Structure formats: structure tokens, C-alpha cells
Amino acid sequence: MKFTIKILIGIIFLYSTSVFAQKDTIYTFGDETEDIEYFFGFSLIPSAMGGLVHFALIKPGSEKNTVKQITRDDFIAQSSGKQKSIANPKFINLFKQYQIDNPNIIDELWRLRYKEYPYFTSEKMQPGWSANDSIPMMPTTTQMETLKKFGLYRMSDYIYGENAFKLLYLIGKPEWVNTYKASY
């Protein structure tokens, strides 16, 4: 009788574990056409962390974008494919893909907005590229027209996705910078 009860309990246990078991997870390999929902981006508005540029992961929406703030270092690491990212799940080096030789070019983004470096520093800083004499912390109207090509219609907008990397590529080119600086 004890033997039968043990067998019966064993059968009930096995049945219950198979009925309530988790569903199998299916892993696929290869080049899936996974839709990326988030993109790397930046705004020329200072960040809450004190930076002159606000780096973020952007999920475009029909009414408004979802924005997840990230640090400068995370932007570089994730865009380089060195750190896990929802905007770069395949760990692609986007700087290399867009022919950007030096990821630290992002440190030049502040120059698009400002005529002079806006924070006090003991170090001598090169001037920014804004040609606006009346409001030295804003690009000129013509410079804003240039930035509109990258999706920046208002200073609070984000430049993201392919536009962000195209702009990073161009600010590394002296001829583009000279044209931007000469836009009055």
C-alpha cells in the first residue's frame, strides 16, 4: 500500500510539473529582420547632468517621442557596439558604419549652438561655431535652416537615428564646419 501511494504521489507530481511548466523559449540565429524601436540621438539643450548636449535613446512616436537619457560615455560605448543597447541589439559599430574616425567628435556638438563656451573654465576653450552676435547661445536663422536638414526644427528637438550620425560625420569635416560658421 505504501509503495502504491508513493507511485501515485510521484505520478501526480510529474503530471503537475509538466502541466504548469514554462513554455519553451525559441532562439533563432542569423540575420533576422528585427525592427529597432529606439535610436541614438542628442539634443543641443544642456542635460540634467551638466553636459552641454543631452544624449538619449529615442523611440519615435506618432504624437511624441519616448526619450531615455543616457550619458556621453554610454552613447559612445553603445554606438560602438561595445555595450548592450536597445538601440543597437546587434552590437554594430555605428561610428565605423558612418565613417566617423573619432567617436569623441561628439564633444564638438556644443559648438553648433554656442558662439563661446558657456561654462567657466580655467582652460582656454576654442570658440563655438554659432555666428549669432545678438544671441550668442543660439545658432543664426541660416544655421537653424542647416540643422533642420537633420531634424532639428526647434532647439528642444532631438537629432536621432541616421541623421545623428550623418551630422557627426559632417562636423568632423573642416569644409562643412567652415560653411556652417559662415552662415549668417
Q: Which letter does DSSP use for residue 111 in this model?
A: G
Q: How far apart are CA 88 and CA 82, in angstroms?
A: 10
Question: Which pTM value belongs to this model?
Answer: 0.78
pLDDT in tens, 1-49: 655 665 655 555 555 544 444 443 334 444 444 567 999 999 999 988 7
Q: Which letter does DSSP use for residue 122 in this model?
A: S
Cell numbers for 151, please give them. 531634424
Cell numbers for 163, please give them. 541623421
Q: How far apart are CA 182 and CA 3, in angstroms?
A: 93
